[in-house]
Structure 1
């Protein structure tokens, strides 16, 4: 009998539970409230807030922001037995029913905090039937949520008048502080308003609010809820509250993150409020001064080199400036990078042993298979050291180095650094890439320079601190699935960006050392005379047509990237990196890194010193009296010997030179002659600069072949181009230029067209002729027996 009763009780319990489970599934809780997306700074303060989809300010209050004072004030005011009941307080219901029936005391609804949450989640007309539904929902809420979570829901939903809901929204919009920073007086103020949000309006009825606040404070004092001194201070605290605008710092990053993580109520970024505010102000004020020059926009990115956290993000000078397209995000806009990729190219060349800082490169007009680069000032120096070529951003030496490094090697490294446009266009890119003939963003370039600042180690830039969002981003690859979504801390579009060693620490140090030697326009006497200002390495860039001005700098702590221009793409005569972008870069560094320790990079152990010839930067040869010290990578840097001067056997009168096959027994002398590269020699002669060639070779010598006299330089035709196609107009007397580059020992060359002799000319003479149509063979021979051929196609229209 007892067993049957027990079984019946068990069956009844199970049936009841199943019924409750079925009802819970049939009548699920209403969806979670739709919060206003907010973007936080690294310290947790609110940078930017948005209206929720229903156009309300409903910012989510986190559990950690609900202070003990706020909990006590709300619970003692609204529901003293909140922690003990299951959503409904039977005693309160009986008391309320008695008061309402017998009309004694204040009419109440006996609503618990949980019941109020149910009503706020599903607003309904206040009827007896709906009250019963509230009770059922309250019980359901208690089954699904903890007390702390129910209190959190309540504080996120309570009304504060107008379109403001939730304690956090009210705290930020009226007191400009998060709930956890409020005083006791402010906390109690926010606790009393939800009961009468239309009567107690902050900013309008402050006197009435103070009276109601103080009444509750005295009641709390009688209940010994707070220390007497805290109550006394709160009673004397004036109420200085008025409606403020929602926080709007970092609008571009805020919209980017909210788009990237839809439905996320709180996104904690890596930005720091102080640097962000200062960067926005400096950028806006600086661009205001540029408007008369036809320049309307700028973008800035500030990166912490040690963590790769983005600490300031400015997409435009003024987000609200619709006339200048202020809502465009200049940090992610794809633009021509100008010369900003040159430091990275030279670093790659250092790692491949191609260059060292003191090595001299030809800086002469050069045709690279149809591509004729020019320096920014249209002039050439003949020969320049690598460090000078980089410091003055010379184009011709950079293209020469890229030709030697190889375009695929260069673009593959840029792809590894997250350059999306370069990755897409890589098969079609050529030597112009290093001069800005590709697309890049400020974010990509700043990340690349941060790698140079960190010994060549590349790591993705971090934009968010939320660990759960990082994991979500890594797992789903959100950026690759959403149009126009930029790189996130883990994934960057369709490219998987991981930590990688782009260049060696030695190469990164050498490039940093060169870039730090530039004279800063804000400190013409050197940064050492201003010990409070930071030392930086920096590089500028200007795109074709003066449409984009770049300046990117770094030290041990920060990398700052600056772009200045117009989002419309319109150029300006004043738009250059050095003149327009750099002043803002230095203002930012001097503000954000003022009085910093100025720790600087030290040479890694893989670097060493060696003596090189002053004239060429190569390992000294037999005739190199002038030498200097240069860095190099043992086992990697080229060990080619210098031959800038060569010895020749000259007749007593200096009229001719002998080779070893025709040198007489007597009547000659040994003499050193300059031995520059043929293109450098030709440039010096065309510019009227001092230059000298070897005397003519002994005409009586019958054994002249190739390099018997020690000449180690080949003959090269510089015009026309090999395997090129030329179109001539039949109606015009157009002619083709013939020119060559030859060694200093060459005095005369001989030109042939389709194996027919054309004419003899001086080695530096420019020869013109009208070519026949069709396939044409051009040949050139010098007076030392060397010859070279090229093929081209000529058409007449």
Structure 2
């Protein structure tokens, strides 16, 4: 009895071991070979692909297999596929008889399931291996469904040369998605795994055609197709040499390779958010402009289109891909490359100052020669307006007003805001950039720039959606892969820039142009409203154009990947035409709604753009952002006292108060006035003081335009080697006045009307004293550098 029980126990144990071996004999992952990186458009069509690391074209496992391929491969390889459990004993016995008669292997009798096992194991074909294939085929049938099994076969079967899998074969031999192949094309591919060497340009064509036609006849017998379809399919040509796969988004493909793990994507294939039609058309537009610009040795161009409604990438062209010419560096993804942004950050400053109560939309800002600690910004046209409305300074992209505005706002505050809004390339402390931050003194990427503008668009778009609140996720980066789920709303009372300020900024950006380039505007006019901004980096190295509507943000960059500057490489001439050609591809939509509940109607001085004070003569009501309530009242309108004739200014020391006229007057500081009245003929000069009146305590009479107080200047050598001169420039309220010039207490000259003087003082610190004919004095200090110190200071 004991021996009997022991035998039962041993047999049960053996059975259990065999069962465990059977259950765990199949690897968790059958195929471990590397796969190609593949990106598809939102409609599922192939955009770009790269060869796998082992040199094979092997696409990742597809979600489904075309019905035509299923029918063809089952008819050709395993007609009882859906009725057996991994092994077709009928086919196997028939194969054994054929092999015995032929005294060699002429038929294997393997099912598709067994072939998958063989492909995954890559072992020599022996009787023992055949037995293992049978066992593993049974196990495979238990784990996977029939549809999954045929999917594994379609993805891993060899199709000749270095092509593995149906999808890779379809693109390499026919240049199309497998789902679009005809019966003749699909039958051709179905016979290849059995004889992959048949695909060879110029060879084996007759054999391949015969095998295909035999399969088509078999499909007729099995009633998959009719005879007419088979006859027409036999007339189709077989593939010649392999076709190059599409490379319509190669830079996004490379980006996906780098970011795949961070994105937590398991497969090397993704369906992107890109619109294939727009992507192809943007590629075409950029290629056309690139061909034109290369005549000027401008070799690279890139464009990014974002859908503000969904936060998704619509088009991604990191460069015009020209791998045949390595010198062009077309492999560099300029969407990710840090570059100088030129003037493209100016709208962020304007919007920030509106939000934080530093100015109103039309507030006058200074536009005069400026030198700040050796830094001397200049406008693109090298001219000055004296004073200009902030929105006009933005639309004309004037540099000096932008620097003056940043000086007022503080570059440290602006630096912090840019980082919060998504500019991720500010790797140095704020002091490293200083005031040059607003003129392109930092680096940004197209990706960050476009995403930051999209954050502003989304904020304004969602004004009604969130009932006046803000969603922190509006500034999230765009997705180029469809997210599995939308981020939850994170509603907040405040944002980096408020609704009203964004609305005012976009209004100003609708009028963007540059002095001297107004004629180009007509080339860009279109039926849809677009807010846009151009930018040009120092040395003509980068040309930018950024445009936006409620639905889209478009960013264009033109230049050379190696940083070489080229004449004519400016935003409005090189990038803006591309921008508007792209916008013509995009559907129109309504303009932004006015966020009335986030705007406040206040009285504004029409002449200065400031909040109206008691002395403003022309007052209007305007809708301004809430921050406008914190702005100062107009500093340029003042009450002055005139004699009874109205010709002279007076004080109570020389005129009875009862005889005075009291008038409100628009008075700019002398340096601003000097340039302002050149372009504004209606500007009224202050009347002179009546003889004998004491002007002490009155508005400043003189202002030194250059050099500013405590300025450091350098006097260069002329071409002939002699020491040059610096031109001192002063503004006086009375254009007919006479000024006496003194340097270090020594009289040097007298000027009348036109107050400029060329001098060549020696290196060192100097005191400049100016005295007008009425005894008004202006004393300032400047330092002249020695030639040897130039390289240390500049």
- TM-score, normalization by structure 1: 0.81
The match for 1:678 is 670
8 Å contact kept, 1:60–1:168: no
8 Å contact kept, 2:217–2:230: no
Distance 1:546 1:522, change over 3 A: closer
8 Å contact kept, 1:160–1:194: yes
CA distance in 2, matches of 1:446, 1:358: 26
1:461 and 2:482 aligned: no
1:388 and 2:392 aligned: yes
Deviations 1:658-706 (A, max 9, x none): 33466436655445554123321244589998763442377476xx864
* Secondary structure of the corresponding residue to residue 421 of structure 1: coil
Deviations 1:129-164 (A, max 9, x none): 443454455456556655444322221222222222
1:413 and 2:412 aligned: no
Distance 1:248 1:521, change over 3 A: farther
The match for 1:513 is 507
For 1:179-328, list aligned pairs within 5 A.
Answer: 179-199=178-198, 209=208, 211-224=210-223, 226=224, 232-237=228-233, 238-242=235-239, 243-261=242-260, 264-320=267-323, 321-328=325-332
Structure 1 residue 257: deviation in Å? 1.4
The match for 1:604 is 595
CA distance in 1, matches of 2:244, 2:651: 88
8 Å contact kept, 1:654–1:695: no
CA distance in 2, matches of 1:284, 1:219: 48
Q: Which runs of 5+ in 2 are unaligned?
A: 461-473, 789-794
* Secondary structure of the corresponding residue to residue 538 of structure 1: strand
Deviations 1:353-381 (A, max 9, x none): 22333322222212234322111010112
1:13 to 8, 12, 15: 15
Structure 1 residue 752: deviation in Å? 10
CA distance in 2, matches of 1:234, 1:45: 28
CA distance in 2, matches of 1:197, 1:651: 106
Structure 1 residue 310: deviation in Å? 1.5
* Secondary structure of the corresponding residue to residue 38 of structure 1: strand
CA distance in 2, matches of 1:244, 1:733: 69
* Secondary structure of the corresponding residue to residue 191 of structure 2: helix
The match for 1:330 is 334
* Secondary structure of the corresponding residue to residue 617 of structure 1: coil
CA distance in 2, matches of 1:623, 1:700: 23
* Secondary structure of the corresponding residue to residue 198 of structure 1: helix
CA distance in 2, matches of 1:675, 1:59: 73
* Secondary structure of the corresponding residue to residue 377 of structure 2: coil
CA distance in 1, matches of 2:548, 2:279: 18
8 Å contact kept, 1:202–1:241: no
* Secondary structure of the corresponding residue to residue 429 of structure 1: helix
The match for 1:575 is 569
CA distance in 2, matches of 1:284, 1:664: 78
Q: Which runs of 5+ in 1 are unaligned?
A: 472-497
1:101 and 2:92 aligned: no
Structure 1 residue 280: deviation in Å? 0.9
8 Å contact kept, 1:175–1:241: no
For 1:47-86, list aligned pairs within 5 A.
Answer: 47-62=47-62, 64-83=63-82, 85=84
CA distance in 1, matches of 2:528, 2:383: 33
* Secondary structure of the corresponding residue to residue 509 of structure 1: helix
Distance 1:16 1:199, change over 3 A: closer
CA distance in 1, matches of 2:386, 2:715: 33
The match for 2:445 is 441
CA distance in 1, matches of 2:203, 2:621: 76
CA distance in 2, matches of 1:241, 1:638: 77
Distance 1:149 1:574, change over 3 A: same
User: Which stretch of the first structure deviates more once superposed, 448-457 or 348-357?
Assistant: 448-457
The match for 1:365 is 369
Distance 1:752 1:165, change over 3 A: same
The match for 2:127 is 128
CA distance in 2, matches of 1:192, 1:770: 90
Distance 1:745 1:325, change over 3 A: closer
Distance 1:777 1:518, change over 3 A: closer
RMSD across aligned positions (CA):
4.4
For 1:454-603, list aligned pairs within 5 A.
Answer: 454-455=458-459, 457-465=474-482, 467=484, 501-518=495-512, 524=522, 527=525, 533-590=527-584, 592-593=585-586, 596-603=587-594
The match for 2:791 is none
Matched pairs, number? 750
User: Which stretch of the first structure deviates more once superposed, 403-412 or 5-14?
Assistant: 5-14
* Secondary structure of the corresponding residue to residue 119 of structure 1: helix
Structure 1 residue 460: deviation in Å? 0.4
The match for 1:167 is 166
Structure 1 residue 241: deviation in Å? 4.5
CA distance in 2, matches of 1:357, 1:93: 85
8 Å contact kept, 2:250–2:321: no
2:378 to 352, 374, 380: 374
Distance 1:743 1:190, change over 3 A: same
CA distance in 1, matches of 2:251, 2:675: 51
The match for 1:480 is none
CA distance in 2, matches of 1:553, 1:465: 24
Distance 1:744 1:240, change over 3 A: farther
* Secondary structure of the corresponding residue to residue 535 of structure 1: coil
Structure 1 residue 176: deviation in Å? 2.7
8 Å contact kept, 1:299–1:331: yes
